[in-house]
Amino acid sequence: ESGVAKAQRSGSTTKDAGVKASTNDKDTLGAEGEAAASTDHSVPQVVVERRHLFWRKLPPALESSSIYATLHQNGTLKDLESKLGKDVQSLVEEHFVRERRVQALTEAERVGREVGALGGVVKAGSLTFFADQRRWNNIAIGLTKLGLTNAELRSAVLELDETVLSPGVVEVLMPCLPTADDVEAIAPYDGDPTLLAKVERFFFEVRDVPLFTQRVHALSAKHAFAASAARALERIERLTAAAAAVADSDA
């Protein structure tokens, strides 16, 4: 199941950043999930687990010379298994079982871990679908550096407003642009937008701007052309001055 589908399912069952399991979730989790959801989360649960013995598997070459080979050959192993009673079981539990107290997960934590929410809890700004964490971090830093809201960026790109999209802003925005795969990934989401993480929320709010990424690339090319043209004119002026000086020289 894709991250978007999981987040969409959790997002559609959340309100005011709180999470409630949907009917489908309960059906999927079964009785165990319903019991966990109804647990008093203020009281730690007791988890019983076997101790780790760190035994190593006996190589086949050595098995024939061990007691295990004899047990298998004469049926002694099956006899032992059939004779294991409560006394033996109590000894096993005494020496090889330990209790560990853990805090029960809240419903928000349970669903958060299921969908991979940031911090493990579904809340405002926690749902992320990115596999490439480095790229996610770079985009989030870039968006923060811009200091513009998603609505402002959306409007500026839609209207190609160069009073907002200055060369410096476009330069920072370029690495943050959604790819076709990003738009395709976010498109199915129809849950609460406030649950989306910073980058996913940006992609979600600009997804319906026609040719959003291409518009910004066009502005970048325009700015680059203007700078290149200014440099070319400066060189032409220098060459013209130099040529005029050579022509007027008596040497």
The predicted-structure confidence for 96-115, as pLDDT tens digits, reads as follows: 777 777 766 666 666 666 65
Type of residue at 113: R
Phi-psi group of 124: left, alpha or beta (phi > 0 → left; psi -120 to 50 → alpha; rest → beta): beta
d(CA 180, CA 157): 17
Summarize the confidence of residues 5-22 as an average pLDDT. 46
d(CA 170, CA 164): 9
User: Residue 160: which of 106, 114, 220, 111 has the closest Cα?
Assistant: 220
The predicted-structure confidence for 21-65, as pLDDT tens digits, reads as follows: 333 444 443 444 444 444 455 566 666 676 666 777 777 777 777
Please check whether residue 129 is in contact with residue 200, taking contact to mean a CB–CB distance below 8 angstroms. Answer: yes
The predicted-structure confidence for 228-245, as pLDDT tens digits, reads as follows: 888 899 999 899 888 888
pTM of the entire predicted model: 0.51
**How much is the pLDDT for 65?**
75
**How much is the pLDDT for 128?**
76
pLDDT tops 50 at residue 18: no
Average pLDDT value over all residues in the chain: 74
